[in-house]
Chains A and B, each alone.
Chain A
C-alpha cells in the first residue's frame, strides 16, 4: 500500500524538500507493507531513494545508498536509485544507425554515451499516481531528447508486496523507431552501510559475461568458468575483487554485463541473482525478464557524499541492473533493442528481500 502508517525507522536527518525549478515541489512517495518495509520513491527521476527493511535482529536500516537531500538527485552523477533511459549503459562513440539513418546522441562519458545522457530519465520530473497497491509513474521523452529519434511514452509501476518483493514493471511506446534499454539503478548495501560490501555473498545464474575494453564497451563474450566472474556458486565479492584478472583491472572492479539464461515466459521474471549478507542476515533476490544483468561493484563511489557524515568509499554499494546488453544497438542483435511504432516495450524486474534467522 501507499503508506501513511506510524513510523518505525531511522530518519535520515539531512533531507530537505526543495522547490523544483518548474515551480513545483518534488514529492516522495512511500510504499510500505505488513512487514515494516518501506520504499521511498521520488517523482524526480522516478528514483529509488530509500528502502528501509529489518535485519535479523529487528533493526530497521536503509539498504540503499543515496544523497543527503533531494538536490543531489538534480544532477545525480553516480545514478543513485535512478530510473535509467532512454538507453541504459553505454553506446560506443555515442552513435548508431537505424533504418539507414545515422544518429548522434549525448556523449557524456568520454566519447561514449551513458545512461541516457543529459536527457536521462533519472533527471526528469515524472507524473506519479496511485495505481491499486502500487505507484504508477509516467514520463514523455520527446523526439530529439538526448539525440534520440521518436517521442517515447514510458510508464513504470512500482509495487511492494507483503513478501518484501519490490516489482518494477516498465513499459514504453514510441511514435518512431528508437533504441530503448531501461533499467533501475539502485545501489544496495545490505548491512545498512555499517561496512562495505566485501563480505556480501553473491550468486549469478550465468555461464558467460561480456568482456570490456578500457572504456567499458563490450569486446566479446567469455565463459565465466575459472575466472573471478564465476558466481554460479555463491562467493564473497571482496575476495573476488582481489583475484588476479585483467578484466577486473579494466573495469576498476566489476562493471560487466552477464548473459542471462533464456527467458521461458515473457511475463514471468526468472530468478537470476542473489546476494546474502551474513552480518545482517538480509538476502536480496533479483528476478527479471531482461536478457542481461550488469554487476557493478561501486568502483567510483569514493568521495561521493551520502547520508552519513563520512562520504562513501569505493565498494560501499553494489548494483545489479537488469537490462539489454551494453552497446547492443551497434551489434548484430540490434533489432531486439529497437522499439517501433505499434510495439510495446515491456520489462519486469523484481528485487525481493528475505531474512536468514
Chain B
C-alpha cells in the first residue's frame, strides 16, 4: 500500500481559528506523521469559500467539521470519500446519513463536569448555554445532557442561553447575565457549554460581586489554555478528546483511500480529562443528612442498629439516605455502621482484657463468627491474631483510633 509516488490530496474543512478544530487538525497531523503517510492537505483560511463547487474539486478525500449544516449540505453531493467530524447527538436521527462520523461525546463532557461539581459537595446546578443557532447544535446537545442529569437526580434545572456577546450590546448582555446569576439559589455549580462562555460568566460574577467558587462554582468545556491565563480566577474545564478525534478521522480516511468500504461507522470519543482549577474548587461539606446520620451511628453503632433506624432518625427514606451516603461517603449506611463496629472492636482488643466473645457482644456483632469473618476480610487476620500483632509491635506507638473513614 505504498503512497509515495503520488500523494493523496485531502481537504480539511475546519475553522482553524477555533481551538477545538485546531486540536483535531493536530491529531490528523500526528496520525500522518506516525504512519509516515504523505497526504497533500488543503486547509483554507476560510473554509466556507471552498464549499461552493466542492463536488467538482479534483482531490481524493475530505475530512470536514459537520457541526456547520452548510458543510454537511455541500458534502452530501460529494463523490469523494468523506469523513465527518462533529458533536454527538442524543437522537440518532440527528446524525448525517451514510458518512463515517467521528463525534465528541457531548453527553460525557457534561457528565464529567457535573460529576465534578456534585463530588465537590454542591447540590444545585445550572447550565450557561448559547442562543440556539444552526451552527451550535452541540450547545443544545449539552443542554440536553444537563437536563437529563437533573431529571435523573430529581433536581431543579436552570438553563440560561442569554444573548450573544458583541460590542454594541455588551453592557446589556453582561447586565442580563448578572441578573440571572443573582436570581439563582446559592451556592450553585454552573456548567458553561464552552470556556469562552464560562469566561463571560466569570467576568459577570466578578462585576456582581459574587464569590467564585464559594457562591458560584464554574466549569467550562474545551480546556482552552487562554481561559486559564485571562482571568484572575483560573477556570476549570473539561478537555474534549480532540486529538483522538483527529487520529480517528485520519485513520478512517486512510482506510477509505485504500478502498476499504466502511459501514456507516460512528466513533464517539469521550473527554480527554478534566482540569480542576480555582473556579470550581468548592470545599465539600457533608450533606446535613449524612452528618446527622453519622452522629447517630457514632452513638449507637454498637447497639446493633440497622439502616432503617438511621433513616428514621434522620427522617428520610432509606433509599434517599443510601443515595446521600454513596455520594458523599462512597459506601452504604450498612458499611458505615460496620466501620464503626470494627473500630470499636479494635479499640477493645487493644485496651481491654476481655474475651473475644464479650467484645463481639459489646460491639453489636450478631455472633462471634461474624466478627471473626469481618476481621479476616477487612484486616486479613483474626481478632486474636490482631491482638497478637499488637503485642508484637507494642514498642511502636499504637494507631490512634480515629473516627473511621476520614
If A16-B373, A226-B254 touch, whether A8 touches B405 (CB-CB below 8 Å) is: yes
Alpha-carbon distance A230/B406, docked complex (angstroms): 41
Q: Answer whether residue A219 sits at the interface, using C-beta atoms and an 8 A cutoff.
A: no
Q: Are B339 and A7 in contact (CB under 8 A)?
A: yes
What mask results when residues 93 to 110 of chain A are scored 1 for a CB within 8 Å of chain B, else 0?
000000000000000000
Q: Are B276 and A60 in contact (CB under 8 A)?
A: no
Q: Answer whether residue B37 sits at the interface, using C-beta atoms and an 8 A cutoff.
A: yes
Q: Are B399 and A226 in contact (CB under 8 A)?
A: no
Interface size on B, residues (CB 8 A): 61
Alpha-carbon distance A226/B243, docked complex (angstroms): 15
Q: Answer whether residue B131 sits at the interface, using C-beta atoms and an 8 A cutoff.
A: no
Q: Are B244 and A278 in contact (CB under 8 A)?
A: no
Q: Are B331 and A235 in contact (CB under 8 A)?
A: no
If A5-B399, A30-B380, A226-B31 touch, whether A243 touches B330 (CB-CB below 8 Å) is: no
Chain A residues numbered 231-259 whose CB sits less than 8 Å from any CB in chain B: 232-236, 238-239, 242-244
If A57-B119, A233-B243, A238-B270 touch, whether A4 touches B108 (CB-CB below 8 Å) is: no
What mask results when residues 1 to 24 of chain A are scored 1 for a CB within 8 Å of chain B, else 0?
011111111111101110000000
Q: Answer whether residue A201 sits at the interface, using C-beta atoms and an 8 A cutoff.
A: yes
Q: Are A3 and B379 in contact (CB under 8 A)?
A: yes
Chain A residues numbered 284-324 whose CB sits less than 8 Å from any CB in chain B: none
Q: Which residues of A contact B374 (CB under 8 A)?
A: 11
Q: Are B248 and A243 in contact (CB under 8 A)?
A: yes
Main secondary structure of the interface of A (DSSP, over half): loop
Contact of B271 among A5, A234, A243, A278 (CB under 8 A): A278
Q: Are A10 and B330 in contact (CB under 8 A)?
A: yes
Interface residue stretch chosen among B6-14, B58-66, B161-169, B260-268: B260-268
Residues of B participating in the A interface, judged by any CB pair closer than 8 Å: 30-31, 34-37, 108, 112, 115, 119-120, 241, 243-244, 247-248, 251-252, 254-255, 260, 262, 265, 267-274, 276, 284, 329-331, 334-335, 338-339, 342-343, 346, 372-374, 376-381, 386, 389-390, 399, 401-402, 404-406
**Given A30-B380, A236-B270, A243-B248, 7 more pairs with CB closer than 8 A:** A9-B405, A10-B330, A60-B331, A199-B108, A226-B35, A239-B270, A242-B265
- Can you spell out 7 A-B residue pairs with CB atoms less than 8 angstroms apart? A11-B339, A15-B373, A59-B330, A225-B35, A234-B272, A242-B267, A278-B271
Residues of A participating in the B interface, judged by any CB pair closer than 8 Å: 2-13, 15-17, 27-30, 40, 56-57, 59-61, 198-199, 201, 225-226, 228, 230, 232-236, 238-239, 242-244, 276, 278-279, 281, 356-357
